[in-house]
């Protein structure tokens, strides 16, 4: 479905972003990876994806907190692959503290990476998509783009901002074949979350399955984690002709979290 098209996925060297990158590569898209990691490990990942899916895969280590680097990454993708047809704005960080105790530098970093980078990546990608006459902008927001939790002021503010930016972008592009939508995951079983589960199990002296359930039970009624592969499938659907007229939507994939 995406053969001959190029996709940028930020924060894609692990977790959700990697799951999405794999789905898009499986549909034939050339992939520009971005994210943190050891250079040798990233190169191995890049080479493995290219070999497995028979597509071109490149890596750009742009710092998502730097607007100039974000925009240069997008233009670099067009120079390398000839186009920017899909951008998945996924990169994100987290910090937890009460509003009154939230460190200013952590607030600025969360807003820069979780929200401002989405704006800069989108703004840089749209001209390339207009020239091609087609495009897909997919923003990875969060259940926290729709509801709130204590001690997550910067993350919740940023993700609510992503939902609003998604709507504005979709409306501005409504007369084109470029769509913009957001995916709002709840708890996703990534290596980072698995570390939280293992730490909870060790701290409380409980078995790993019980630690998983305890982590899920407060928020996610299904009692099941979403997987990066499932989110990759959702992103791929938003790139399909079936989603041509889905615009400005924030799609929860949260096991019923925001239905409560």
The pTM of this model reads 0.95
> CATH: 3.40.50.300, 3.40.50.720, 3.40.50.150, 3.10.20.30. Which one for 6-188+227-259?
3.40.50.720
Cα dihedral 72→113→140→97 (10° resolution): 180
| 200: confidence class by pLDDT, cuts 50, 70, 90 | confident
Give pLDDT tens digits for 151-197. Answer: 999 999 999 999 999 999 999 999 999 999 999 999 998 887 888 88
Mark residue 167 as left, alpha or beta (left: phi above 0; alpha: psi -120 to 50; beta: remaining).
alpha
Is 59 catalytic? The answer is: no
Q: Which of 89, 86, 94 is nearest to 35 (CA)?
A: 89
Q: Where along the chain do its domains lie?
A: 6-188+227-259, 189-225
User: Which of 155, 187, 225, 257 is labelled catalytic?
Assistant: 155
The residue-averaged pLDDT of 231-247 equals: 98
pLDDT at 193: 83
């Amino acid at each position: 479905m995406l053969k001959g098209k190029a996709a940028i996925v930020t924060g894609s060297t692990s977790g959700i972003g990697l799951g999405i990158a794999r789905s898009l590569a499986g549909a034939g898209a050339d992939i520009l990876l971005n994210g943190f990691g050891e250079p040798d490990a990233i190169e191995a990942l890049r080479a493995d994806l290219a070999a497995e899916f028979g597509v071109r895969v490149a890596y750009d280590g742009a710092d998502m907190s730097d607007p100039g680097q974000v925009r240069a990454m997008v233009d670099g993708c067009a120079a390398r692959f000839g186009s920017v047809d899909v951008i998945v704005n996924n990169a994100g960080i987290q910090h937890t503290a009460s509003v009154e105790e939230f460190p200013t530098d952590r607030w600025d970093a969360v807003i820069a990476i979780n929200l401002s980078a989405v704006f800069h990546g989108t703004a840089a990608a749209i001209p390339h998509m207009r020239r091609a006459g087609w495009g897909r902008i997919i923003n990875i927001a969060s259940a926290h783009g729709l509801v709130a939790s204590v001690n997550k002021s910067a993350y919740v503010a940023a993700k609510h901002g992503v939902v609003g930016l998604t709507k504005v972008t979709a409306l501005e592009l409504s007369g084109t074949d470029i769509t913009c939508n957001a995916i709002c995951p709840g708890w996703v079983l990534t290596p980072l979350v698995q570390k939280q589960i293992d730490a909870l199990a060790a701290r409380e002296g409980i078995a790993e399955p019980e630690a998983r359930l305890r982590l899920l039970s407060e928020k996610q009624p299904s009692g099941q984690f979403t997987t990066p592969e499932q989110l990759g499938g959702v992103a791929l659907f938003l790139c399909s002709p079936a989603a041509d007229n889905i615009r400005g939507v924030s799609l929860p994939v949260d096991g019923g979290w925001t239905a409560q």
